[in-house]
Amino acid sequence: MKQILQTIAYKSVYGIAYTVSLIPMAFLYAMASFAFFLSYHVIGYRKAVVIQNISRSFPDMKYGEIRCVVKKFYTCFAAYFAEILKSISAPAEVLDKKITFENLELIDRHMNAGRNVIACLGHCGNWEMLNFMPYKLRHDMYAVYKPLQSGIMNRLMIKLRSRFGMKLIPDKSVIRHILTQKSSPAVYLFLSDQCPRIKDDKYKFELLNQETYLFSGMEKLARISRSAVIYLHITQLSKGNYKVTCIPVCSEAESTNEGEISQKYVDLLAENIKEEPYGWLWTHKRWKR
């Protein structure tokens, strides 16, 4: 009975989201503007966290500059939700004009050589638009994710992210999967800028002027599976339009020293954030530990 009720609830939520996605983009952006007003001016959703994160990350910024970055962050953050909603029903041809991919041949080269590709990135720009990336590739692509506690929301997330061929794989299953699929190279997507629960001093780096711990799993998996590693650099060209650039990190992870891949990732992530300071997910309590 519980499973039936969850299925009904899931289909209802998805039906509502799909219906809303049919609304013209101009109206969705108008709704996003109202959401910005509420989150920034009325509720102040995690505003203290955002201000603290940005001020510590850019100590040379003046208060007025910080205030501008904070405001633009909330504006973009609200717009991202409108764009994600629209992507539920938007034709592939429309999204193809909104998202530009550069240097995808780098992935082809590694895949043709029989290597898996670990594609790491940060919460920069509208990272959810990368769900469209499999449409542009000729290879299998997996997004490593942490299952949500809510079964309904978890099913909804999988439904939305897999629309264009993205395959989702739970974080606890990725090691077994990648090691048992050696004959079938694929691309594995890792969002690697979250705060790990366990501190490992071997994976402690300086990110944006702050001592930062990283998950060691991405690098260790790359080395064990003898994968190539790339960084996906996301920038916003204009409202609703993004560019994703594939940047090489290493072609043979097994030949790197421990921590080398993670250091390069941190350096590339920092460049990405500095290029568009308003684009990163500042509401996340990245340095809470």
- What is the reported pLDDT for 289? 66
Predicted confidence pLDDT, tens digits, the chain (289 residues): 777 888 888 899 999 999 999 999 999 999 999 999 999 999 999 999 999 999 999 999 999 999 999 999 999 999 999 999 999 999 999 999 999 999 999 999 999 999 999 999 999 999 999 999 999 998 999 999 988 888 888 999 999 999 999 999 998 899 899 888 777 899 999 999 988 887 888 999 999 999 999 989 899 999 999 999 999 999 999 999 999 999 999 999 999 999 999 999 999 999 999 999 999 999 998 887 6
Helix (H) or strand (E) holding 250: strand 241-250
- Under CATH, what is the fold of the domain 2-279? Glycerol-3-phosphate (1)-acyltransferase (3.40.1130)
Q: Are 128 and 240 in contact (CB under 8 A)?
A: no
- 3-state SS class at 37: helix
Q: Are 178 and 188 in contact (CB under 8 A)?
A: yes
Record the pTM.
Answer: 0.94
Q: Are 78 and 71 in contact (CB under 8 A)?
A: no
Alpha helices, H only, the chain: 2-21, 25-36, 47-57, 63-86, 92-98, 105-112, 151-161, 174-180, 217-224, 260-275
- What is the reported pLDDT for 3? 79
- What is the reported pLDDT for 180? 86
- What is the reported pLDDT for 285? 87
Contacts of 175 (CB under 8 A, 6+ apart): 221, 224
Nearest residue to 261 (alpha-carbon basis) of 213, 220, 200, 201: 220
Lookup: tokens for 55: 């001020």
Contacts of 144 (CB under 8 A, 6+ apart): 169, 170, 171, 174, 188, 189, 190, 191
The 3-state secondary structure of 82-127, one letter per residue? HHHHHCCCCCHHHHHHHEEEECCHHHHHHHHCCCCEEEEECCECCH
Lookup: tokens for 100: 């530009």
Largest CA distance in the chain: 58
Its sign, for the CA torsion 216, 220, 221, 223, is positive
